[in-house]
Amino acid sequence: MGALMSQPQAAGSFWQGILSQIRDRVTEQQFDTWFKTVEPTSCSEDAIELTVPNSFSREWLRKKYADLILGAVASTNGGRRPTLRITVREGGDGEADSGPASTAIGETSSDDCPTSLEDQAQALLMEGAQASRPRSPAAASAADAARGAWLNPEYRFDTFVVGAGNRLPYAAAMAVSEKDLRIYNPLFLHGGVGLGKSHLLQAICAAWRARRPSSRVRYVPCEQFINQFISGVEKGDLEAFRKRHREVELLVVDDVQFLAGKERTQEEFFHTFNALHQRQQQIVVSADVSPREIPGLSERLVSRLRWGMVCEVEAPGYEARLDIVRQRADRLGQELPEDVCAFVSESVRTNVRELEGAVTRVIGHAHLTGHKIDITEAREVLRDLVVERRRRVTIDHIAQAVTGHFEVKLAELQSKKRTQAVAVPRQICMFLARRLTGHSLEEIGGFFGGRDHSTVLYGVDRITARSKDDVTLRDTVEQLATQALSVAGS
């Protein structure tokens, strides 16, 4: 980062670069809620100071996003992680709580003894900041292995919500952590952004270390693996890098799709993989797509990644989303009314991260404004999500998903046929059109062969009633809703 940049203009310019990285790693709602009001006051190689409008924002950034901020700074700073200080701006509510008016991540005292999950997470962040200080390669390797760098203590198996879309990867992850036999080696998890891959990977690490306290575990985001490899090459210190990643019992690499097109790093990862596999040490990796779908990945590396178990993590169904909403609210210390839980679960179908972000948004807004949390307030806070969803999904998208699943033609759904094979898919289309779009009953009926609004209403009510008792139908409808949203977003 170079010389001290205490002037507001220089600090602001540097912070904009950090924000561009953060924007790629959080949802739009999270970015707008927590980062748009942050202002930098000074930046240097050793410290970065930010101001926020109130103590609630300060505590939230400190507890939930400090590691993200420090990681973004480190990626532009040669891997060094500075101290992060967050203060409440003058005129804010810094005295509204009993905490300090400023919080420094990376400073601690000998009296500190973290006990809660949040305190443990804070201790890990402090160690991450202290890791930027010069150390010998041996000391760095020992410290990295001992502290479980980058691990989020909330990412455990008991906090992972299991549903139809993730039951197999969850079971495979549990088997890897519990069994000494290397049945699934490597374990490769893939799926879209925010579906829980990192949660499962870090849960494996936590469970592994709980069962085998003396074992050496290495969890590393692929981007960090790449940066450390490049640093090792530049410094002529590849031996330390290799020791750190090869002399372990468990290596977990997150987001390996970032290896695409990086031939030298792929070569290094290939030999690291071989070294561990030949010694029957466990390897776990994740990506946003399956091995064969990662562009620019060498064939021999693709082959090795497919040696073991390949599992897809799918988007959660409604029941799983409802559990996630309740669990997230509970972690934030707020009980949500059931109709609010149902509304959030219904409104956000894309991924777990955005679903949790929506809960945070509703609760955070209530804390900041002092408003009571009810369905009216939730609809107002999340109105952009509902409008965006309804604007994006069309009846064509829904019909495409339904006709593909039931192997019927659109012309049949729009015809006068009333056989079970046609009537049920047609009613599901009507039900989803009513739920996912802004179309009126008349418009929906018009699309399906000019049927009147009472026919559409009957179809919607019919699917609603049957879904309460028919689990298979309910899961099918949820799956088709997710597919329609996916088609609309592609």
Per-residue pLDDT tens digits of the chain, which is 490 residues long: 444 444 555 677 778 878 888 887 877 767 777 888 888 888 766 778 888 887 767 878 887 888 888 887 777 666 667 788 888 887 654 433 333 334 444 433 333 333 333 333 333 333 233 333 333 433 344 344 334 446 788 889 988 888 878 889 999 999 999 877 778 989 999 988 888 899 999 999 999 988 888 889 999 988 889 988 988 888 888 899 999 999 999 999 999 998 988 889 999 999 999 999 999 999 999 998 889 888 888 899 999 999 989 999 888 888 888 999 998 888 888 889 998 898 888 878 777 888 888 898 888 888 888 888 888 888 888 877 765 555 567 888 899 999 999 999 999 999 989 899 999 999 999 999 888 877 788 888 888 988 988 999 999 999 999 988 888 898 899 888 878 877 665 5
Q: How many structural domains is the chain composed of?
A: 4
Say yes or no: 92 and 186 in one domain: no
* Peptide bond between residue 8 and the one before it cis (omega within 30 degrees of 0): no
Residue 423, CA distances (Å) to 365, 402, 418, 420 in order: 44, 12, 5, 5
Residue 79 belongs to some domain of the structure? yes
pTM for this entry: 0.53
Q: 420 in a domain, yes or no?
A: yes
Say whether both 78 and 220 belong to one domain.
no
Number of CB atoms found within 10 A of residue 178's CB: 12
Considering the domain architecture, whether residues 130 and 272 belong to the same structural domain is answered as no
311 Cβ contact partners less than 8 Å away, ≥ 6 residues apart: 168, 169, 172, 187, 188, 189, 190
Structural domain range at position 70: 8-107+117-134
Q: CATH code at 450?
A: 1.10.1750.10
Which DSSP letter does residue 105 get? E
Instruction: Note whether 264 and 335 are same-domain residues.
Output: no
Residues 35 and 69 in one domain: yes
Residue 205 and residue 184 share a domain:
yes
Task: Verify that 122 and 83 share a domain, yes or no.
Answer: yes
Q: Are 54 and 97 in contact (CB under 8 A)?
A: no
269 and 336 in a single domain? The answer is no
Do residues 380 and 404 share a domain? no
473 and 424 in a common domain = yes
